C-alpha cells in the first residue's frame, strides 16, 4: 500500500472512530426495516387493506429483498471506505490515505520537519463523551493543511506526531567543528 522510505518505521496507524461506522450501519438497518414497518402500519390503520396486499405478497417480498440487497451493498461500500481511511505516522512523515470510493483514493503526506502547527478539536457533547475529534495538521509545503475528521483520541495522535517531529528536528541539529550548534533545514 505505502512504500516506506529508508530507515522509516511506522509509529502509529489510526482509523476514524468506530462510532462513525456504527451510526452509518444503524441508519442503513433502519432503512432496511422501514418498508415492512410501513406495510404493517398501513395494515393497523386500514385493516381492510390486507385483502388488497394479499395478492401482491410475492412482489412485496421480492422488492423487500431487493431493497435489503441494495442497502447491504451500500453498507459494504461504507465499510470499505471506513477501513481504508488510514493515517500513518512514521518517524519521517505523516501519511493520510483517504478512500473516496471503491476505486479511488487520495494520499497526502507531510514530512515531519515541514509541519508548522497541529491542532486537535473536540466539538460537542457526543464527541467529548466518546473522545472523538478532528485533527488539523498545518504545513509549509504545497499541501497547506491536512484535516482528519472523527479521529479517536485526537490529543494522543497530536502528541505522537509532535513527539516524532521534535525527534526529527533534534536530529537536524549538527554540531560543527567549532562546537556551535546550527540548524540545517532541507
Residue ranges per structural domain of the chain: 10-16+85-183, 19-81
- What is the pLDDT, as a whole number, of residue 64? 95
Mean pLDDT value across residues 24-42: 93
pLDDT range class, residue 124, cuts 50, 70, 90: very high
Q: pLDDT (tens digit, 9 = 90+) per residue, 55-67?
A: 888 998 999 999 9
What whole-number distance in Å separates Cα of residue 137 and Cα of residue 132? 16
Q: Say if CB 131 and CB 60 are below 8 A apart.
A: no
Rounded to whole angstroms, what are the CA distances from 75 to 17, 52, 81, 87, 89?
A: 17, 33, 10, 22, 28
- Greater model confidence, 126 or 143: 126
- Using the predicted structure, report yes or no on whether residue 179 has a pLDDT greater than 70: no
Which DSSP string corresponds to 150-169? EEESHHHHHHHHHHHHHHHH
- Is 2.60.120.10 the CATH number for 10-16+85-183? no
Long-range contacts of 125-129, Cβ-Cβ distance < 8 Å, separation of 24 or more: none
Residues 6+ apart with CB under 8 A from 93: 5, 8, 109, 110, 111, 112
- What is the pLDDT, as a whole number, of residue 149? 94
pLDDT range class, residue 143, cuts 50, 70, 90: low
Amino acid at each position: 500500500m505505502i512504500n516506506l522510505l529508508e530507515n522509516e518505521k511506522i509509529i502509529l496507524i489510526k482509523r476514524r472512530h468506530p462510532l462513525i461506522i456504527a451510526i452509518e450501519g444503524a441508519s442503513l438497518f433502519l432503512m432496511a426495516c422501514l418498508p415492512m414497518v410501513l406495510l404493517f402500519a398501513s395494515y393497523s390503520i386500514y385493516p381492510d387493506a390486507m385483502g388488497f396486499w394479499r395478492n401482491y405478497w410475492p412482489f412485496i417480498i421480492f422488492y423487500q429483498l431487493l431493497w435489503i440487497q441494495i442497502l447491504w451493498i451500500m453498507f459494504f461500500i461504507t465499510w470499505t471506505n471506513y477501513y481504508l481511511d488510514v493515517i500513518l505516522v512514521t518517524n519521517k512523515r505523516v501519511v493520510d490515505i483517504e478512500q473516496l470510493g471503491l476505486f479511488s483514493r487520495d494520499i497526502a503526506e507531510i514530512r515531519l520537519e515541514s509541519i508548522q502547527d497541529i491542532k486537535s478539536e473536540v466539538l460537542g457533547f457526543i464527541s467529548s463523551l466518546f473522545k472523538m475529534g478532528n485533527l488539523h495538521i498545518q504545513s509549509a509545503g504545497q499541501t497547506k493543511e491536512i484535516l482528519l475528521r472523527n479521529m479517536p483520541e485526537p490529543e494522543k495522535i497530536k502528541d505522537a506526531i509532535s513527539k516524532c517531529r521534535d525527534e526529527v528536528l533534534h536530529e537536524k541539529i549538527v554540531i560543527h567543528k567549532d562546537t556551535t550548534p546550527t540548524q540545517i533545514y532541507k
